[in-house]
Amino acid sequence: MATEQQVVELLGDLKDPFLHKALKETNGITEIKIKPEKNHVSVKILIAKTGTPEQLQLQMKVVDTLKKSGVESVGIRFGQLSDEEIAKHRVGEQEDGLGLLSPNCKTKFIAIASGKGGVGKSTVSVNLATSLARLGKKVGLIDADIYGFSVPDMMGITQRPVVRGERIIPVERFGVKVISMGFFVEDNAPIIWRGPMLGKMLNSFFKEVEWGDLDYLLLDLPPGTGDVALDLHQMLPSSKEIIVTTPHPTAAFVAARAGVMALNTEHEIIGVIENMSYFESKLTKEREYIFGQGGGQKLAEELKTELLGQLPLRQPDWNEEEFAPSIYEADHPTGQIFNDIAKKVIAAAE
């Protein structure tokens, strides 16, 4: 039977879902009662906000952690931390007002860029995010392609974020937390804002969204090297970048500009992904290189990085019950390619 000290050690590394600090740091474990004859443990835990979905998620983690250690039944009561305790632990993120843009933030940023539109950058963004989540990573995705937002439709997202207090709660699909300009316009209306207004919106995506504890935050950048892309490069304290191109020499030539922009803003390019590399016949398995060959490899060599993967022209298998028109299932041949790419991204980002 676990002792009180063992319970503290087991639960101490679980994090307050709002302060993103370990319970042992916030002194959030306040009462422990053990009944050896019933193999029962009851605990009282204090967190920054109670009565929320995040509290329920933490409750499930507590129960799971204790039962894995051999405890048969668990009782949990939640209470709220004192204002003084909350303020003490908000010094890092909340007091400087930077949120994910704080230099102390441990989330890894991965920007997905392209030189021009129509090469599949958003398809790569949503599938790479989903693949990272399938590998057990905590993933967020910002649809930063402000004028050409498409992530909600590609992922089959029909609900919108909710506002809780002064924080925006992102929509979650396939284990990925998503925020997009598409959530804040009506009926697919065009965006006619000028640069400064867009910059403020992007700032709010970083500072006002309750992302929680993320391993990776992916950004689906606008194509090219315009104001929005430049603003994002300058906002981020540090970022890894992936360049998406097609095999066509002209597409690769234009994509090189996005790569040079990343290097000029001191962001590290971790690889190139070549989309629409070939079409493979279902009957003969013969490959046709519709857009030519070699563009992705040439671009990778020019940018002194690696070719992370080559994606064929192929449609996802649509599931009417969980409709997401651009997401490849894990066992789909293209889904397996994305899984391999995600593993390479993890290795490069660590």
pLDDT tens for residues 118-146?
Answer: 889 999 999 999 999 999 999 999 998 77
Instruction: Please state at what angle helix 249-264 crosses helix 227-235, rounded to 10 degrees.
Output: 40
What pLDDT sits at residue 313? Answer: 93
Calculate mean pLDDT across residues 104-109: 82
DSSP E strand stretches across 138-290: 139-143, 162-164, 167-169, 171-173, 176-180, 216-220, 240-245, 268-274, 279-280, 287-288
Residue 190, pLDDT above cutoff 60: no
Instruction: Tell me how far apart the alpha carbons of residues 311 and 324 are, in angstroms, rounded to a whole number.
Output: 19
Mean pLDDT over each residue of the chain, to the nearest integer:
84
Spatial contact of 53 and 60, defined as CB atoms under 8 Å apart = no
Which of the residue ranges 189-203, 213-227, 267-281 would you say has the lowest mean pLDDT? Answer: 189-203
Calculate mean pLDDT across residues 99-119: 80
What pLDDT sits at residue 92? Answer: 44
Q: Give me 116's structure tokens.
A: 């021009």
Higher pLDDT, 203 or 298: 298
Residue 228, pLDDT above cutoff 60: no
Residue 196, pLDDT above cutoff 60: no
Of residues 132, 112, 122, 204, the one with CA closest to residue 155: 122
CA torsion angle 43 44 50 54 (round to 10):
-30
Spatial contact of 120 and 277, defined as CB atoms under 8 Å apart = no
What pLDDT sits at residue 226? Answer: 53
Q: Judging by DSSP bridges, how do beta strands 176-180 and 139-143 pair with one another?
A: parallel
Instruction: Tell me how far apart the alpha carbons of residues 219 and 142 are, in angstroms, rounded to a whole number.
Output: 5
Domains and their CATH numbers in the chain = 4-89 (3.30.300.130), 99-349 (3.40.50.300)
Nearest-5° Cα angle at 55, 75 to 163: 160
Q: Give me 115's structure tokens.
A: 């030189």
Which of the residue ranges 144-153, 196-205, 309-318 would you say has the lowest mean pLDDT? Answer: 196-205
Instruction: Tell me how far apart the alpha carbons of residues 194 and 228 are, in angstroms, rounded to a whole number.
Output: 10
Per-residue pLDDT tens for 142-173? Answer: 998 777 788 999 999 988 888 877 788 899 99
Within 10 A of 108 (CB to CB), how many other CB atoms are there?
Answer: 18
Run of H or E including 2: none
pLDDT band per the 50, 70, 90 thresholds, residue 236: confident
Which of the residue ranges 30-44, 85-99, 125-139, 323-337 would you say has the lowest mean pLDDT? Answer: 85-99
Instruction: Tell me how far apart the alpha carbons of residues 16 and 117 are, in angstroms, rounded to a whole number.
Output: 41
Higher pLDDT, 236 or 306: 306
Spatial contact of 241 and 256, defined as CB atoms under 8 Å apart = no
Residue 40, burial from CB neighbour count under 10 angstroms (0-12, 13-18, 19+): middle
Helix (H, G, I), strand (E, B), or coil: what is residue 309?
strand
Spatial contact of 170 and 138, defined as CB atoms under 8 Å apart = no
Higher pLDDT, 176 or 192: 176
Within 10 A of 51 (CB to CB), how many other CB atoms are there?
Answer: 9
Stated pTM of the model: 0.70
Per-residue pLDDT tens for 57-85? Answer: 899 899 999 988 888 889 999 999 987 88
What pLDDT sits at residue 273? Answer: 95
Write the CB contacts of 251 (distance below 8 Å, at least 6 apart in sequence): 115, 116, 119, 245, 291, 295
